[in-house]
């Protein structure tokens, strides 16, 4: 019996059973039990949770935050408390991506009813929506053979450990089951080295953050860098961040990558989460990498495209088969991407070796590295 089989044997057998397990685990019997709770965090996540609570008729008592400059302020009509002023016995919803650290802090303060924000979309999906978490267990239970195959692709024990941890976390939703983050996102130490003649393709270049890391790692020794960023605000910052001495070798395009050349509706936010959307009010061009880079020998492709990674991989099928570039692909935007994307790459080129690393707090920034 494999370690995944043992995990599946202990897992809930349906989404309904999982939701009931989660409610028992966090001590919530109904949405009414959240009345009078405190939201820990005051950022975008907290604002979304507050909006959903108010829509559901759930009364929130206050915010709490570790930022001392916010203590005593009123945000969205609620007072911001220092964490030590949260009354014992008060339910606290962690509305932040730093869920592990805040959970440990609250336990040390004697808090009892601690609920991570993502658990709400499992317990009460009619009120709380989170595409990075919703449907995860249903997808896992209906794709066990594919998950076993993907698990078998990974070349090192750390990758397999992270894979199992992420699956276990999907079932338990306990912060302690999240993988510990590691550094060097997209430039994983010990897995590969950048060449002096890199042709690097950055899909989801944001404001040039990966580009600046690339320049530090290469010391400016590279052949060409494609930076694709469709968000107008992000693209303006990207252009500003290109050092003048490299402009001849950096191709910055306000465009997206996809399965083929197309015009697509896009929702700009000026943040990392801007994405293609049927509700978008602007249109952008998307290109397949096979088309865009047909005259270049691509050596590395990075993809962080808010859930459209499968389409970008499809549009790079020929490059993956022939040029065999190093791949750094985000696999966290959709729960099923954890196993679907490694299997997709292996279908295009079975010669790849696969590794998995987790780079940020909560469920975010898990990256598939293939070479």
Average pLDDT in the chain: 94
pLDDT band at 112 (very low <50, low <70, confident <90, very high): confident
pLDDT digits (tens, 9 = 90+) for 239-250: 999 999 999 999
Average pLDDT over residues 221-228: 98
pLDDT for position 205:
96
3-state secondary structure of 351: coil
pLDDT for position 278:
63
Pairwise CA distance, residues 145 & 201, whole Å: 32
Q: Does residue 108 form part of some domain?
A: yes
Q: Does residue 111 form part of some domain?
A: yes
Name the residue range of residue 40's domain. 35-129
pLDDT digits (tens, 9 = 90+) for 39-72: 999 999 999 999 999 999 999 999 999 999 999 9
Q: Does residue 61 form part of some domain?
A: yes
β strands within the chain, DSSP E: 37-40, 60-64, 74-75, 78-81, 92-94, 114-116, 199-203, 224-228, 250-253, 256-257, 262-267, 275-276, 282-287, 300-303, 326-330, 354-358, 366-370
pLDDT digits (tens, 9 = 90+) for 70-92: 999 999 999 999 999 999 889 99
The count of structural domains within the chain is 1
Average pLDDT over residues 160-186: 95
Share of the chain above pLDDT 70, in %: 96
To the question of pTM greater than 0.85 for the whole model, the response is yes
What CATH number did the domain enclosing 67 receive? 3.40.50.720
Average pLDDT over residues 187-198: 92
pLDDT for position 273:
65
Q: Does residue 241 form part of some domain?
A: no
Q: Does residue 332 form part of some domain?
A: no
């Amino acid at each position: 019996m494999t370690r995944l089989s043992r995990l599946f044997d202990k897992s809930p057998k349906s989404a309904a059973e999982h939701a009931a397990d989660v409610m028992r685990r966090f001590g919530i019997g109904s949405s009414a039990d959240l009345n009078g709770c405190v939201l820990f965090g005051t950022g975008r996540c907290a604002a979304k949770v507050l909006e959903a609570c108010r829509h559901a008729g759930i009364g929130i008592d206050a915010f709490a935050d570790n930022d001392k400059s916010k203590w005593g302020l009123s945000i969205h009509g609620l007072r911001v408390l220092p964490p030590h002023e949260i009354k014992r016995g008060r339910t606290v919803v962690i509305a932040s991506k730093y869920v592990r650290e805040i959970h440990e802090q609250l336990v040390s303060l004697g808090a009892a009813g601690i609920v991570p924000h993502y658990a709400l979309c499992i317990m009460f999906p009619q009120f709380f929506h989170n595409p990075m978490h919703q449907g995860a267990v249903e997808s896992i239970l209906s794709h066990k053979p594919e998950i076993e195959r993907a698990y078998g692709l990974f070349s090192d024990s750390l990758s397999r450990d992270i894979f199992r941890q992420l699956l276990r976390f999907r079932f338990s939703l306990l912060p302690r089951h999240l993988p510990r983050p590691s550094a060097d996102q997209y430039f994983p130490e010990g897995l590969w080295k950048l060449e002096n003649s890199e042709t690097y393709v950055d899909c989801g270049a944001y404001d040039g953050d990966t580009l600046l890391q690339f320049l530090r790692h290469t010391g400016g020794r590279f052949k060409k860098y494609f930076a694709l960023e469709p968000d107008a605000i992000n693209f303006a910052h990207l252009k500003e961040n290109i050092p003048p001495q490299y402009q001849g070798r950096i191709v910055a395009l306000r465009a997206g990558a996809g399965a083929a050349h197309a015009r697509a509706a896009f929702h700009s936010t000026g943040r990392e989460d801007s994405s293609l959307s049927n509700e978008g009010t602007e249109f952008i061009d998307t290109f397949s990498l096979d088309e865009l880079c047909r005259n270049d020998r691509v050596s590395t492709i990075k993809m962080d495209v808010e859930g459209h990674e499968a389409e970008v991989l499809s549009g790079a099928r020929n490059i993956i088969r022939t040029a065999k570039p190093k791949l750094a692909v985000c696999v966290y935007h959709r729960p099923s991407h954890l196993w679907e994307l490694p299997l997709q790459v292996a279908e295009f080129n079975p010669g790849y070796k696969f590794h998995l690393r987790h780079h940020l707090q909560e469920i975010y920034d898990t990256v598939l590295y293939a070479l």
